[in-house]
Amino acid sequence: MSKTDPAAPSRAAMPAHDARRLLELEAQTRFVLNDGRIASEAPPDHAPGPLLYMAADRIWVAESVATAVADELHRLVRDEPPLIAGRAPAGADRYLALLPGARAAHGGLSYHLPHETRAPGTTRTLASGTVEAGELEARLEQDGMPPDLLELNFRTVADLWPPYCLVIEAGRIAALAFTARRGANGAELGLITLPAYRGRGLAAQAVAGWSALPDLRDLTLFYSTSETNLASQRVAAKLGLPFIGPTWEVARS
């Protein structure tokens, strides 16, 4: 998403029981889990997942981590106080010392995205599965992806990851909300605003459009971002998204 900006928005918390349930569902949505271990990220791309993921009072450990190490991580986390947004876990150094393949660790923020979320402003949006979206996809297949999308690694139409919602300005894609992860009971949003169109509130309208897509109506929807991405947090604040809680993960090298 956008670069870091000053002044993060405030975040309203939800009851602890509801937050814990949603954080667990988000982990099940984001990852392919095998007996509670992370096999990979969820579809559509099944990318390698993190070595460790923490949310609420739980951790999920990658399958590639030795069983004895995973057991020790689970033992240590029993003494871990609740995560606080903007802070590493109290036992972060111990966790990292047990994971020599770790590349970096970072915190995240998770939000629940209600269906039919409303956004301020009006602009033209285009939803996957419609006749217009099909026509646009056909043009992109024929002419190739625009340079600004190619620079963001949208190399083909398949990289739009449906179901999606596009914000269109002057016939061009200005922002897009797409299905970054999908599980049996949940879906997690991916969000991009093209550089030339940032700062105009288009991201919020793309998110709102995605939340209303019929293909997602039976799933719990999630919006998550890095704790350093204040621009993305402002989108969540503008939409009034309920804050679920902080997360922390250790990426693999």
pLDDT, position 14: 79
Q: And the tokens for 234?
A: 């402002």
Note the pLDDT tens digit of each residue in 120-146: 888 899 999 999 999 999 999 999 999
The residues near 52 (Cβ < 8 Å, ≥ 6 apart) are: 59, 60, 61, 62, 65, 73, 95, 99, 249, 250
pLDDT, position 186: 98
Please provide residue 98's backbone torsions phi and psi, each rounded to the nearest 5 degrees: -85, -5
Per the listing, tokens 């269906």 go with 115
Q: How confident is the model at residue 74 (pLDDT cuts 50, 70, 90)?
A: very high
The pLDDT of residue 8 is above 60: no
The pLDDT of residue 9 is above 50: no
pTM of the model: 0.92
Of 96-110, 115-129, 207-221, which one has max mean pLDDT?
207-221
Question: Which H, E and C letters describe the chain, residue by residue?
Answer: CCCCCCCCCCCCCCCHHHHHHHHHHHHHHHEEEECCEEEEECCCCCCCCCCEEEECCEEEEECCCCHHHHHHHHHHHCCCCCCCCCCCCCCHHHHHHCCCCEEEEEEEEEEECCCCCCCCCCCEEEECCCHHHHHHHHHHHHHCCCHHHHCCCCCCHHHHCCCCEEEEECCEEEEEEEEEEECCCEEEEEEEECHHHCCCCHHHHHHHHHHCCHHHCCCEEEEEEECCCHHHHHHHHHHCCCEEEEEEEEEEC
Q: What residue segments make up the domains of the chain, in order of their start?
A: 16-110, 124-243
pLDDT, position 158: 96
Q: Tell me how far CA of residue 153 lies from CA of 35, 68, 149, in angstroms.
A: 33, 38, 7
Q: What is the mean pLDDT of the chain?
A: 92
Q: And the tokens for 181?
A: 């992860």
**Residue 160 CA from chain centroid, whole number:** 15
pLDDT, position 13: 63
Note the pLDDT tens digit of each residue in 202-216: 999 999 999 999 999
- 124-243: what fold? Aminopeptidase (3.40.630)
The pLDDT of residue 7 is above 90: no
Alpha-carbon span 119 to 234, nearest angstrom: 12
Q: And the tokens for 127?
A: 């939803």
Q: CB of 60 within 8 A of CB of 53?
A: yes
Alpha-carbon span 63 to 75, nearest angstrom: 17
Per the listing, tokens 């299905």 go with 179
pLDDT, position 12: 55
- Report percent pLDDT > 90 for the chain: 87
The pLDDT of residue 6 is above 50: no
Average pLDDT over residues 110-115: 97
CA-based Rg of the chain, rounded to a whole angstrom?
Answer: 19
The pLDDT of residue 90 is above 50: yes
Average pLDDT over residues 94-120: 94
The pLDDT of residue 70 is above 60: yes
The pLDDT of residue 10 is above 50: no
